[in-house]
Amino acid sequence: MRQTFQVQYIVEGASNIRQFKVPRFRDFDIADVFDFNSTNFGQGIDTYSKIIVLLAPRKGRFTIPGATAIINGKQMHSNAVHIAVKPGMPGMYNIDPDEIDTEEESVLHPGENINDKIEKNLFLRVETSKTTCYVGEPLMVVYKAYSRLNANSQVMRRPSLTGFSVMEMVDAYDGKPEIEKLNGRTYYTNLVRKVQLFPLQEGKYTLDPAEIESVIHFIKTNEPAGKKHGSSLYSRNGTPMFPTAINHRTIVRTEPKTIIVKPLPTANQPADFSGAVGQFTLTVKAPGAPIHRGDLVKIQVAISGSGNLSLLTPPAIKWPKGVDTAEPSVKENINKYNFPLSGSKTFEYSFAAPDTGDYVIPVAHLPYYDPVANKYKTAVSDSITLHVLPGVKKTDAGTGMNAVDHVGAIRPAYYWFAAIALVIIACIAYQVISLQKGKKKVEEKPTAPEPVKEVPSPQQAASKLLANARLALQYHRQQAFYHDVQQAIWQVIAENYQLLPSKMNKHYIVQVLTEKQVPAATIHNLLAILDECEWALYTPGQSVSSMEELASKTEGLLIVLLEVKS
């Protein structure tokens, strides 16, 4: 409630559109109406959109009626849609859209400069929750476009945020405008990008700029400022006056924003600290049902709280003697819409219950740095005792007798068959042994040595790893291309640096590559490529040239990583 939303009536592939009539919106206030034309150059399809920005004044369920138009000579009617308006949050969206008169703001009066008009009424801002933080400390970054003009805008460049692990905070960037006050003035705002960042290394980082291209529909008039546009269409004697329409194209970018990432304090840092930053609790859970010898036992180690949850690795567990666990499965239950990131991350270990008796899993420790308290803390779990009972005897499904009783019930006649079978087996074994002794007397021919397998060069290996990605590029399968590039990078890292699946995250990779003395520039390129892949998979629409460039950069990166190992 009291929030604007956008209704679009779209006509595709039509060459002649006449008498386009939008319905009356009885239940809503109209904030803005404008047209938008675009062309899909790949398919040659023209698209016309009539866009109405509405404000919902009250809660309830409403119907958005369809529009009518004569399209290519035929009367056509669009579909209607149903929406539900929920109560707004206190203090939110209580801004009257009439405060934003885009038509009047888009009028150029005598003496007004077009560039000054744009600078005051159309701009991009980047907002950060802070400008100084520690390695691993969550940071929120929001890119927004602000406008008071009658303009059609398109995002030309969304920022790729190199040097950080990125978590998107919205599901989709749909272009729906909101209303916001800034420095006492009311604007329509559009979200360009909203993310949580987790710095992977210390240093000074300048956030990449966002960029939009806008076509602003100005009206140039000879009337002095202060008169509403529309009242100036006629002079005092009734003579019509026709203002001049100006469509001005401009590109707007965000100002540079610098983030200083500090190293975590070394004083009082626990020896087993592994990079957890935030506020966390640790629990270890055992099965509630009785455990018998040989049963599959699943132990869950859960980290809950807020912070860099997605980057956390499992804490060390001192398993009792006789317990042999495999690598844990990992499950995340994270609220990405909340800042800082909150939820839980669970590591589930599986093993076969050992011999009967009591087995104690001692307390586990998760050291973490609390940036609010500015000190290291340790989350501690409770110890757990597993009571392993003797194995349950399996009963015969048909008679209910256990295995021992069943053996005793075998009739004596069957023992004769068993004795005969043993004699036959002994005869066969004797013949086999005799044949083997005979073969030893025959001179064996020397076997030819196996050919030496040629080890592929780093260049050959990199080319092979990217074969699927290049095939996807050839057939313009964008999603498959970026997925295959990611897979190639992770495969090289996993195989060359002996990494387990639970360690496959950017934070840990940076640590490993730094320890292996991989050049900082290579690590920077690795993170940039992974970020670009994640962003492209999330927001499709990259050009073929940028995909080709990424393929070449990735091949060079893989060669360097393979050469470092070799």
Task: Retrieve residue 470's tokens.
Answer: 């290049």
Task: Retrieve residue 377's tokens.
Answer: 């803390």
What percentage of the chain reaches a pLDDT higher than 90?
A: 26
Nearest to 54 by CA among 30, 34, 81, 33: 30
Q: Are 536 and 469 in contact (CB under 8 A)?
A: no
Domains of the chain listed by start with CATH number:
4-85 (no CATH), 97-262 (no CATH), 278-389 (2.60.40.740), 458-565 (no CATH)
Nearest to 471 by CA among 461, 480, 462: 480
Q: Give the mean pLDDT of 293-304.
A: 91
pLDDT at 268: 93
3-state secondary structure at position 351: strand
What Rg, from alpha-carbon coordinates, does the chain have? 35
Among 23-37, 38-52, 77-91, 269-283, which stretch is predicted with the lowest mean pLDDT?
38-52
Measure the CA–CA gap between 111 and 499, rounded to whole angstroms: 67
pLDDT per residue as tens digits for the range 455-481:
678 888 888 899 888 888 887 788 888
Longest dimension (CA), the chain: 129
Task: Retrieve residue 317's tokens.
Answer: 């567990």
Q: Which amino acid is at 541?
A: G
**Cis bond upstream, residue 256 (ω within 30):** no
Angle at 150 between CA 146 and CA 151, to 5 degrees: 70
Task: Retrieve residue 336's tokens.
Answer: 């990405």
3-state secondary structure at position 179: strand
pLDDT per residue as tens digits for the range 503-546:
667 777 887 888 787 887 788 888 888 888 877 765 555 556 67
- What sign results for the dihedral spanned by CA atoms 474, 476, 478, 480? negative
Q: Give the mean pLDDT of 372-386.
A: 94
First to last CA, the chain: 62
pLDDT per residue as tens digits for the range 211-256:
999 898 888 888 776 655 444 444 444 444 556 788 899 999 999 8
Q: Are 107 and 127 in contact (CB under 8 A)?
A: no
pLDDT at 460: 85
Measure the CA–CA gap between 188 and 565, rounded to whole angstroms: 53
Q: Give the mean pLDDT of 70-88.
A: 84
Distances (CA, A) of 289 to 328, 387, 411: 21, 10, 40
Q: What residues does 470 pair with on adjacent strands?
A: none
Measure the CA–CA gap between 154 and 216, rounded to whole angstroms: 12
Q: 0.75 exceeded by the pTM?
A: no
Measure the CA–CA gap between 86 and 60, rounded to whole angstroms: 7
pLDDT per residue as tens digits for the range 413-456:
455 555 566 667 766 766 666 666 655 554 444 544 555 556 67
Locus of tokens 């909203």 = 194
Phi, psi at residue 378, to the nearest 5°? -135, 125
Residue 372 confidence (pLDDT) above 50: yes
pLDDT at 259: 94
